[in-house]
Amino acid sequence: MPRYPDFARRTQRIPSSVFEKFRSRMKEKRSFLIQLHIGDTYLPPDYSLPIDREFLKAKPYFNRYCHTFGVDSFRRMLVKKLNEDNGFSVNVENVLATSGATNALSASVLSVLNPGDEILILTPCWPFFSGMVELAEARAVQVPFYTRLYSEPDLDIKAYLEPYLTPATSAIYLNSPNNPSGKVLSTSQLQQLSAFAKKHRLWIISDEAYDGLAFEPHQHYCIANLTYMFEQTISVFTFSKSFMFAGLRLGYLVAEEEVVKVINKTMVHQLYSPSSLSQYLMIEPLKNRQQWIPRLRAHYQELRDKAIRELRIPVHPPEGTYFLFFSIAEYLNGRSYWQVIEELLETGVTVAIGEDFGKDFSDYIRICFTNEPWEWVQKGIEKINQVLLRS
Amino acid sequence: MPRYPDFARRTQRIPSSVFEKFRSRMKEKRSFLIQLHIGDTYLPPDYSLPIDREFLKAKPYFNRYCHTFGVDSFRRMLVKKLNEDNGFSVNVENVLATSGATNALSASVLSVLNPGDEILILTPCWPFFSGMVELAEARAVQVPFYTRLYSEPDLDIKAYLEPYLTPATSAIYLNSPNNPSGKVLSTSQLQQLSAFAKKHRLWIISDEAYDGLAFEPHQHYCIANLTYMFEQTISVFTFSKSFMFAGLRLGYLVAEEEVVKVINKTMVHQLYSPSSLSQYLMIEPLKNRQQWIPRLRAHYQELRDKAIRELRIPVHPPEGTYFLFFSIAEYLNGRSYWQVIEELLETGVTVAIGEDFGKDFSDYIRICFTNEPWEWVQKGIEKINQVLLRS
């Protein structure tokens, strides 16, 4: 029992941000630091926001608690979007509004994993997911996956995953388009994953945060829509990426009605509900999404192509998302990985650290090519070239 | 291991809403149902909201991820308010922005309780707290407290709490002004609690959600500001009550810098951060709070007095909050508790259920006298009188 001044053990198991140790130096350099380590957009939302006094008058209850499953009109609009864009055929009861994809994932993990259970985390993966597994007192089992599919697209996925399975395995964490590698899984790859999950009755927590951001000619499919997969899949979406509004902390998940009810119970005990104001604000942009998402995606694709041309280190072109993820092992030139990271910081550019994305990626870095205006990203990449290619 | 279709055990231990079973009948009656079971306000925010296009232009990063500890200018304003109004002398590092008090409490519980640990929950208490303890795999130990202090203000608190303590006890959950009883603890009562917590090195999670809503002549004191209590107390606040903006899902907690850091780590894995837009929106109302909070409090106090006059069942006048909480045991007249609840629903009024606030309160009901305009509250109380005094 952790009496004062001790904390619960789980708080020690959750990894701290690697930037904690650089915090003070980052603060010093703030005014000219090019931040490529954060996954966000330099753009304001590319649609008009109905945020004025008339809007507030039209929503008499905008300041009150909302239904914890979400504001009715917002959920109905989500259903329309999911059925039209993502191949679902769901109803309002299948949709739960959440405080970002983060919250949807966290509530899902707490709802399907008992203490001691294992979840297969396909890597490289979004850094925060492992910490959520720690909060649930469960165990994350990392499986190197997405980068491997770039070099081995015909990998026998079922046979490859089998050795990671134990009697304690309950679920798989899937994320396509993948942060950080940009890999977008094909239907045949999803079918193999689905056959494996089906055979072993594993829950699939499918993180579709980069929905809307798969680049031509790749297409983003939702595993939930493969035959008989809907009932054992929790599909998670967000307004932080293609809707460019991370600041609203708004997301949603789609699942069987019974699953939605259970996860809602968990979520209510984490934060009650997402902001009702955020939900009201996103109804209009959802309705008009076809007017601006394609333009945004084309712009990001152009930025991706420019970033790849600029970077003088080989990198597999991401099929979606807004990241470049690559190994710097061959560019250390006698320096340690951390010495290079410090040199980058010293020249004024931050990058995300490979080991945050999985233990097999400790010689990788990730950069986001949309977090700063292009001129800055370009300068940042130039600095990376200089530091890495210094001989 | 809960493979599909099974869920984690904790989801079964979290209590469901008692209104689940009435859901369809409540929907039928929706148009004329007087809802007194929800703790919220019928008023729109009593201050001007700086929410227009100029505001958005002035906040170039309003749509982006914010610092997970909170937006700088918002945190600075919180510090000013805490030091001026609540007797703290804290700095920005002591303050963490959260998604409502709910999220602050949930992250605190996960940060100080290990699986199997016990927390003393002074009752009657806010219904969601026990579910948070279940999420942490810990154990809630209920201690009947606030209503008892109405009848026994000189209770020897230290001696009274001692028998509930075991070697597994880690923390106390305190809530003054108390939902649902309206009890506001005096400094002498807080001092006794503090001596007990100090002696046994117990963390205090102090839920101050009804800050600003203690009625004359009662005054709300923060236990953290008693001698040497700051370091082992987590003080939790919200914008959902005196700021009338539950829909923003915004709150904050105050603690030692080290404690803030640990709880932030937990919170980041639940939802990353609260909405940055919500934080920007509350800076101005925080600044002008003295212009409107006293008026709001006086209005609520007037409503309290009117509600008590209207209700023909004895109830201790709440010293704060916006609830009346009272036993209906003597008004059952041969009916079961649930029969009375159904009769109330049938006549068109909903009330909160006693057992949700603790196992010793199963013959109580709670009504909120601010969730509907006064004419409706009055009609609702009239219906309650009719059903309860029917002979």
Q: Could you say which of B256, B288, B320 is where a domain stops?
A: B288
Note whether B258 and B331 are same-domain residues: no
Residues A68, B293, A50, A278, CA torsion sign: negative
- The residue of chain B with its CA nearest to that of A272 is B102
Cα gap A196→A122, rounded to integer Å = 14
Mutation target among B19, B53, B64, B137 for the A interface, most CBs of A within 10 A: B64
User: Is residue B365 a contact partner of residue B353, using CB atoms and an 8 Å limit?
Assistant: yes
> For A87-93, which contacts have Cβ atoms below 8 Å and span 24 or more sequence positions?
A87/A221, A87/A222, A87/A225, A88/A222, A88/A224, A88/A225, A88/A230, A88/A235, A88/A254, A90/A254, A93/A257, A93/A260
B-contacting residues in A 252-271 (Cβ below 8 Å): 258, 262, 265-266, 268-271
Cα gap A241→A300, rounded to integer Å = 11
Q: Which of B21, B344, B270, B239 is nearest to A102 (CA)?
A: B270
Which residues of A are less than 8 Å from B202 in CB distance? 3-4
CA A137 → CA A109, A123, A133, A382, B261, distances in Å? Answer: 10, 20, 6, 43, 20
Q: Which of B269, B20, B280, B32 is nearest to B135 (CA)?
A: B269
Contact call for B3 and A103, based on CB within 8 A: no
Which residues of A are less than 8 Å from B44 in CB distance? 60, 63
Q: Give how far A360 is from chain B: nearest CA, Å.
A: 22
Q: Please give the single-letter amino acid code of residue A216.
A: E
CA Rg value for chain A: 21
Contact call for A66 and B247, based on CB within 8 A: yes
Contact call for B247 and A136, based on CB within 8 A: no
**ipTM above 0.85 for this complex:** yes
Residue A4: inside a domain: no
Q: Give how far A151 is from chain B: nearest CA, Å.
A: 32
Residue B97: inside a domain: yes
pLDDT at B391: 66
B-contacting residues in A 347-366 (Cβ below 8 Å): none
Tokens of B149: 């202090």
Residues in chain B: 391
- The residue of chain B with its CA nearest to that of A116 is B1
Cα gap B196→B349, rounded to integer Å = 42
- CB contact B49 to A (< 8 Å): yes
What pLDDT tens digit does each residue of chain A (391 aa) get? Answer: 789 999 999 999 998 777 767 777 777 777 789 999 999 999 988 787 777 777 777 777 789 999 999 999 999 999 999 999 999 999 999 999 999 999 999 999 999 999 999 999 999 999 999 999 999 999 999 999 999 999 999 999 999 999 999 999 999 999 999 999 999 999 999 999 999 999 999 999 999 999 999 999 999 999 999 999 999 999 999 999 999 999 999 999 999 999 999 999 999 999 999 999 999 999 999 999 999 999 999 999 999 999 999 999 999 999 999 999 999 999 999 999 999 999 999 999 999 999 999 999 999 999 999 999 999 999 999 999 999 998 6
pTM of the model as a whole: 0.96
Residue B3: inside a domain: no
Note whether A172 and A94 are same-domain residues: yes
Tokens of A63: 């300041």
Residue A180: inside a domain: yes
Which residues of B are less than 8 Å from A246 in CB distance? 63-65, 276
Cα gap A223→A225, rounded to integer Å = 5
- CB contact B122 to A (< 8 Å): no
pLDDT at A391: 66
Note whether A195 and A262 are same-domain residues: yes
- DSSP three-state, residue A299: helix
Q: Could you say which of A289, A315, A333 is where a domain stops?
A: A289
User: Is residue B167 a contact partner of residue B117, using CB atoms and an 8 Å limit?
Assistant: no
Note whether B300 and B233 are same-domain residues: no
Contact call for A135 and B110, based on CB within 8 A: yes
Q: Which of A341, A323, A321, A324 is nearest to A383 (CA)?
A: A341
Contact call for A170 and B61, based on CB within 8 A: no
The mean pLDDT of B119-123, rounded to a whole number, is 98
Note whether B266 and B321 are same-domain residues: no
- DSSP three-state, residue B368: strand
Of A49, A202, A240, the CB nearest to B4: A202
User: Is residue B372 a contact partner of residue B35, using CB atoms and an 8 Å limit?
Assistant: yes
Determine the structural domain holding residue B77 and report its residue range. 61-288
Which residues of A are less than 8 Å from B223 in CB distance? none
- DSSP three-state, residue B323: strand
Q: Could you say which of A260, A289, A318 is where a domain stops?
A: A289
* Alpha-carbon dihedral B359, B362, B368, B369, rounded to 10 degrees: -130
Residue pairs spanning A and B at CB distance below 8 A: 245
pLDDT at B62: 81
Q: Give how far B78 is from chain A: nearest CA, Å.
A: 19
Q: Residues 6 or more apart from A185 whose CB is under 8 A from it?
A: A149, A174, A176, A178, A193, A221
Q: Please give the single-letter amino acid code of residue A246.
A: A
| pLDDT, tens only, B184-204 | 999 999 999 999 999 999 999
Q: Residues 6 or more apart from A170 whose CB is under 8 A from it?
A: A112, A113, A114, A117, A118, A119, A138, A202, A203, B1, B2, B3
pLDDT at B31: 72
H-helix or E-strand containing A125? Answer: none
State the CATH number of the domain containing residue B189: 3.40.640.10
Which residues of B are less than 8 Å from A137 in CB distance? 115, 137
CA Rg value for chain B: 21
Note whether B176 and B247 are same-domain residues: yes
Residue A3: inside a domain: no
| pLDDT, tens only, B142-194 | 999 999 999 999 999 999 999 999 999 999 999 999 999 999 999 999 999 99
Q: Which of B285, B245, B251 is nearest to B271 (CA)?
A: B251
Q: Give how far B306 is from chain A: nearest CA, Å.
A: 23
Cis status, amide bond into B5, omega within 30 of 0: yes
Residue B125: inside a domain: yes
Cis status, amide bond into A167, omega within 30 of 0: no
- In this prediction, what percent of chain B has a pLDDT beyond 90? 89
Q: Is residue B45 packed enough to be buried (19+ CB in 10 Å), middle (13-18) or exposed (0-12)?
A: buried
Contact call for A128 and B63, based on CB within 8 A: no
Q: Give how far A62 is from chain B: nearest CA, Å.
A: 6
Q: Give how far B151 is from chain A: nearest CA, Å.
A: 32
| pLDDT, tens only, B5-39 | 999 999 999 987 777 677 777 777 777 899 999 99
Of B40, B64, B169, the CB nearest to A1: B169
- CB contact A115 to B (< 8 Å): yes
Note whether A163 and A21 are same-domain residues: no
Note whether A108 and A219 are same-domain residues: yes
Backbone angles phi, psi at B317, to 5 degrees: -60, 125
Contact call for B63 and A246, based on CB within 8 A: yes
Mutation target among A249, A252, A370, A371 for the B interface, most CBs of B within 10 A: A249
Residue B56: inside a domain: no
The angle that helices B257-271 and A128-135 make with each other, rounded to 10 degrees, is 100
Which stretches of chain A are DSSP H helices? Answer: 9-13, 23-28, 53-58, 72-85, 100-112, 128-135, 146-151, 157-161, 187-199, 257-271, 276-287, 289-310, 337-347, 374-389
User: Is residue B222 a contact partner of residue B208, using CB atoms and an 8 Å limit?
Assistant: yes
pLDDT at B176: 98
- The residue of chain A with its CA nearest to that of B104 is A271
H-helix or E-strand containing B117? Answer: none
Contact call for A114 and B2, based on CB within 8 A: yes
B-contacting residues in A 309-348 (Cβ below 8 Å): none
Backbone angles phi, psi at B168, to 5 degrees: -90, -5
Hey, how many other C-beta atoms are within 10 angstroms of the C-beta on A203?
Answer: 28
Q: Residues 6 or more apart from B298 whose CB is under 8 A from it?
A: none
The tally of domains found in chain B comes to 2
Q: Which of A199, A202, A198 is nearest to A122 (CA)?
A: A202
Which residues of B are less than 8 Å from A271 in CB distance? 99-100, 102-103, 106, 249, 270-271
Q: Give how far B321 is from chain A: nearest CA, Å.
A: 16
Q: Which of A370, A390, A377, A386 is nearest to A43 (CA)?
A: A370
Residue B92: inside a domain: yes
Note whether A58 and A168 are same-domain residues: yes
> For A219-222, which contacts have Cβ atoms below 8 Å and span 24 or more sequence positions?
A219/A184, A220/A176, A220/A177, A220/A184, A220/A320, A221/A87, A221/A176, A221/A185, A221/A186, A221/A187, A221/A190, A222/A86, A222/A87, A222/A88
- DSSP three-state, residue B316: coil
- CB contact B202 to A (< 8 Å): yes
Which residues of B are less than 8 Å from A275 in CB distance? 247-250, 275, 278
pLDDT at B126: 97
State the CATH number of the domain containing residue B321: 3.90.1150.10
CA angle A59, A63, A66 (to 5 degrees): 85
Cα gap A175→A178, rounded to integer Å = 5
Cα gap B11→B4, rounded to integer Å = 14
A-contacting residues in B 273-312 (Cβ below 8 Å): 273-278
A-contacting residues in B 152-171 (Cβ below 8 Å): 167-170
Note whether A107 and A222 are same-domain residues: yes
pLDDT at B207: 98
- Upper half-sphere CA count for residue B187 (Cβ side, 13 Å): 6
pLDDT at A305: 98
Q: Please give the single-letter amino acid code of residue A42.
A: Y
Note whether B237 and B99 are same-domain residues: yes
- The residue of chain A with its CA nearest to that of B272 is A102
Hey, how many other C-beta atoms are within 10 angstroms of the C-beta on A162?
Answer: 12
Contact call for B132 and A61, based on CB within 8 A: no
- CB contact B123 to A (< 8 Å): no
Q: Please give the single-letter amino acid code of residue B21.
A: K
Contact call for A268 and B128, based on CB within 8 A: yes
- Rounded-to-5 percentages of helix, strand, coil across chain B: 45, 15, 40
Note whether B173 and B35 are same-domain residues: no
- CB contact A134 to B (< 8 Å): yes
Contact call for A8 and B112, based on CB within 8 A: yes
Q: Which of B119, B367, B77 is nearest to B250 (CA)?
A: B77
Cα gap B178→A147, rounded to integer Å = 54
User: Is residue B261 a contact partner of residue B312, using CB atoms and an 8 Å limit?
Assistant: no
Which residues of B are less than 8 Å from A118 in CB distance? 1
| Residue B123 in this model has a pLDDT that exceeds 80 | yes
